Chains A and B, each alone.
Chain A
Amino acid sequence: MSIIIDHVNYIYGEGTPLATKALNDICLTIPDGQFIGIIGHTGSGKSTLMQHLNGLAKATTGHIYFNGEDIYDSDYDMKKLRSKVGLVFQYPEHQLFEIDVFTDVCFGPKNLGLDRREVELRAYEALEKVGFPKELFYQSPFELSGGQKRRAAIAGVLAMEPEVLILDEPTAGLDPKGRDEILHQIKKLQKESGMTILLVSHSMEDVAEYVDRIIVMNKGSVMFDDTPREVFHHYKELEEVGLSAPQVTYIMHALREKGLNVDTDVTTIAEAAKEILKYYS
């Protein structure tokens, strides 16, 4: 049970003067239950790649296998794939349309053809999973705060009970508190349900703390694919493509230069604090 991306190329606007190669020979394996961060600059192809995973974009050449089946087979059930691979777009609150939050969250499971009780049960659970306050269930989605809207929209995808959840910049436009809350909630969700989660972001800071693996995209190709620790080793190269390692990496390197013998590979603030305290004790 996994996703295998096999030599995928995608040319955007083929046959027009604007034709550009958006994805360049991508090969990746995504095993079950992993929490993966996809990092890349704007236009690096990360969002395009994610749209391939649930069949919204079709590779110009190459194949994608979901649970061993080629999703480009003519008899492959795309609708089923979309229920298994949930994709939360950037600014997902822009897709809300129903008169109240609960009905909106019901939209996804209802489209799967489930009966009403099952639909409502799933919607209820999904809203609970994202920590959406119960007293707001029957509010109009347009009257909510930015963070709540986003939760409602994420719940809308979760209610389909996907095996793989892809979140495209889920924290864009949120304040630091809202950002941390959403990321925590996602991590919790991943721990509790064992779901495979792909988190697309352009900020290392966001993902370093949460993910098991980081895939760095640059100009349509995979640049690095490793654990956060290994990827941040290359912080100089990351800078060259307009990305950066988390701030702690820089602090630890600076401390090391000043003669403190600390481990420069730490990825989170907590680890860094521990390292520094260890040095002084």
Chain B
Amino acid sequence: MLRDITLGQYYQTESVIHRLDPRVKLGGTLVFIISLFLFKNFWGFAVAAVFLGIVIGLSKVPFKFMVRGMKSILFLLLITVGFNLFLTQGTPIFTVWKLSVTWEGLRLALTMAVRLSLLIIGSSVMTLTTTPNNLTDGMERMLRPLKVFKVPVHEVAMMMSIALRFIPILLEETDKIMKAQIARGADFESGNLIRRAKALVPLLVPLFISAFRRANDLAMAMEARCYRGGEGRTKMKPLIYQKRDYLAYVCLAGYLAVSIGVGRLLPLGAVFYTF
């Protein structure tokens, strides 16, 4: 029942995208997201969608996994579209009660919907093709310059990988405790809001205790293996750029140039002009 959350879940398979250096994927996702906010017409989004489509094709991850991540933000998406649709000033198309739908609102709502969808799918591609460990490794390397400002980069990265590692464990634990309490006649599904909140106590108390117990065990296990933070620590699998990574950077630069060029400059988009 709780296993349907895919945002931030790794999909195991063998592909070029999977083998890329996590720094490339992190950088690429960042560039992709930024590019989404720079477009001034719909052609930019079209280029972004095509680019994303190619990456998804290369990654060999079934498309339905990407869409599954979308489900979780569908509600947010609908609210955003709704607000933009009804509350934007401009030339009205039609009016329902006091709310009027305007051409400007329609454009803005469409832009937002497309932008958010691409954003979520784009970041899903990263998390679906990169193991959490790789991801934090990449992040640690990329943030290393911040050490100059006394930012504990390694510690933050370690905390992140532990947090990520604990998500499936705690989900499984929740599932188990939930089942155990259902077996004792607990009811998590019916009743009003207050009753449901109260019904969560038999779930949350054991879950917290278990989380603390696991955290304690992990801390002990780390100390027993002489963990003492990032100072002078080497990696078993250091991140080294391969030829394909440089190639990917080139592709990324190409994408950025084309999409920005098309998205900001192409007059053809004048019909759909969004800002």
Q: Which residues of A contact B (CB under 8 A)?
A: 13, 17, 51, 54, 56, 79, 82-83, 86-87, 89, 92, 94-97, 107-112, 142, 156-157, 160
Cβ contacts under 8 Å, A54 to chain B: 183
A51 B179 Cβ-Cβ under 8 A: yes
B177 A17 Cβ-Cβ under 8 A: no
B11 A111 Cβ-Cβ under 8 A: no
Question: Of the candidates A13, A92, A96, A111, which one forms a contact with B187 in the assembled complex, judged by CB atoms under 8 Å apart?
Answer: A111
Cβ contacts under 8 Å, B177 to chain A: 94-95
CB proximity of A49 to chain B, nearest CB, Å: 14
A156 B184 Cβ-Cβ under 8 A: yes
Cβ contacts under 8 Å, B187 to chain A: 79, 111
B184 A56 Cβ-Cβ under 8 A: no
Ordered nearest first, which 5 A-B pairs have the shortest CB separation?
A111-B185, A97-B205, A95-B180, A108-B184, A87-B183
**Can you give 7 A-B contacts (C-beta < 8 A)?**
A92-B180, A94-B176, A94-B206, A94-B209, A97-B202, A111-B184, A160-B185
Q: How many residues of B contact A (CB 8 A)?
A: 21
Give the distance in Å from the alpha carbon of A82 to the alpha carbon of B209 in the complex: 26
Give the distance in Å from the alpha carbon of A216 to the alpha carbon of B11 in the complex: 34
Q: Which residues of B contact A (CB under 8 A)?
A: 3, 11-13, 176-177, 179-187, 201-202, 205-206, 209-210
Q: Which residue of B lies closest to A93 (CB)?
A: B206
B180 A13 Cβ-Cβ under 8 A: no
Give the distance in Å from the alpha carbon of A89 to the alpha carbon of B172 in the complex: 14
CB proximity of A166 to chain B, nearest CB, Å: 9
Give the distance in Å from the alpha carbon of A82 to the alpha carbon of B187 in the complex: 12
Question: Of the candidates B3, B179, B184, which one forms a contact with A107 in the assembled complex, judged by CB atoms under 8 Å apart?
Answer: B184
Q: A17-B12, A94-B177, A95-B177 are in contact. Are A82 and B206 (CB under 8 A)?
A: no
Cβ contacts under 8 Å, A96 to chain B: 206
Q: A89-B179, A142-B209 are in contact. Are A95 and B11 (CB under 8 A)?
A: no
CB proximity of B136 to chain A, nearest CB, Å: 23
Q: Which residue of A lies closest to B64 (CB)?
A: A15
Cβ contacts under 8 Å, B202 to chain A: 95, 97, 107
A157 B206 Cβ-Cβ under 8 A: no
Cβ contacts under 8 Å, A83 to chain B: 185
